[in-house]
Amino acid sequence: MKALCIYLLICFCLTNVGNARQEKISVLVITGGHGFDRPAFFEMMDALRNIEYKELAQPEANAYFLNPEGYDVILFYDMVQEISEAEKAGFEQLVKDGIGLVFLHHAIVSYQDWDFYRDVLGGRYIENEDSTQMQSNYQHDVHYDARIADKDHPISLAIEDFEIFDEIYGQVFISPDVNVLISSSHSESMEHLMWSREVNPKTRSVYLQPGHGPGIFADSRYRNLLKNSILWAAFRR
C-alpha cells in the first residue's frame, strides 16, 4: 500500500510539472504608428507554440497601463510619441512590479523624450531636428550579417550566425550596460542587433532590431529568437 501511494504521488508530481511546462504564455502585442505586413507578422505569431496573444493598437493601447493585468509579456511593435503622464506612471509601476518586455524593430523610435522607456529598452533611435547632434538613420532592403555574440545565453543558445535581408538602422544609441546577443559587421548598420537586460529582479527586457518584414518574419532563426525572447522575458527560460 505504501509503495502504491508513493507511485501515485510521483505520477501526480510529474503531471503537474508537465502541465506547468505546457502552460501558455500570455502576450500583449502593441502595434500602431507604423505600417507593417500584418498577414506575415501574425502568421509568425500564430506559429509560436504555447504562446497566446492579443493585439492592442495605438493610440488606445497605452490606456492598458492605467490598469495593467492579465499578461506575462508585452511585445512592443509600435512607433509612437504620445503618452499621458498617467500612462507613463502606470508603465513605470508595472516594470517595478514585474513584467516581461520584448521590443521589436521600430519600437526603439518611440518616446523620444521619455528616458525611462529608453533605459528599459536599452537604447534609442534618435530623431533630432538639430543637425549638429547625433542623428539615427535607416536603409531598406539591405543584406547584412547577424553574428551571435553570446552563444551561452538562453535566447541565442544553439542559434548559428546567419544572413539577413531587411531594414537596417544606423547611428543608434545603445546603453553600455546591455547584454549583447547579436552583432553585425555591416559598416552602415548599428553594431548590435539584439540585446537583453535584467531591468530588475522581476522584469526582463529584450530588443531585436530586424523586423521590417515580411521575409524576416518567415525566417526560422528569427522566429526562434523571438520565441526564446518571450520565454526568457517571462522567466520560462
Residue 212 near residue 105, CB atoms below 8 Å: yes
* pLDDT score, position 8: 43
Give CA–CA dist 231/206, Å, rounded. Answer: 11
25-233 fold: Rossmann fold (3.40.50)
Q: Is the pLDDT confidence value at 20 over 80? A: no
User: pLDDT of 188-206, one tens digit each?
Assistant: 999 999 999 999 999 999 9
Give CA–CA dist 23/37, Å, rounded. Answer: 29
Longest CA–CA separation in the chain, Å = 82
* pLDDT score, position 82: 97
* pLDDT score, position 156: 98
Which DSSP state fits 218?
H
Q: Is the pLDDT confidence value at 3 over 80? A: no
**Mean pLDDT of all residues belonging to the chain:** 92
* pLDDT score, position 213: 87
Q: Which of 220, 221, 204 is nearest to 120 (CA)?
A: 204
**Tally of CB atoms within 10 A around 67:** 8
**Tally of CB atoms within 10 A around 86:** 12
Percent of the chain past pLDDT 70, that is, above it, reads 89
User: pLDDT of 44-85, one tens digit each?
Assistant: 999 999 999 999 999 999 999 999 989 999 999 999 999 999
User: pLDDT of 86-141, one tens digit each?
Assistant: 999 999 999 999 999 999 999 999 999 999 999 999 999 999 766 567 899 999 99
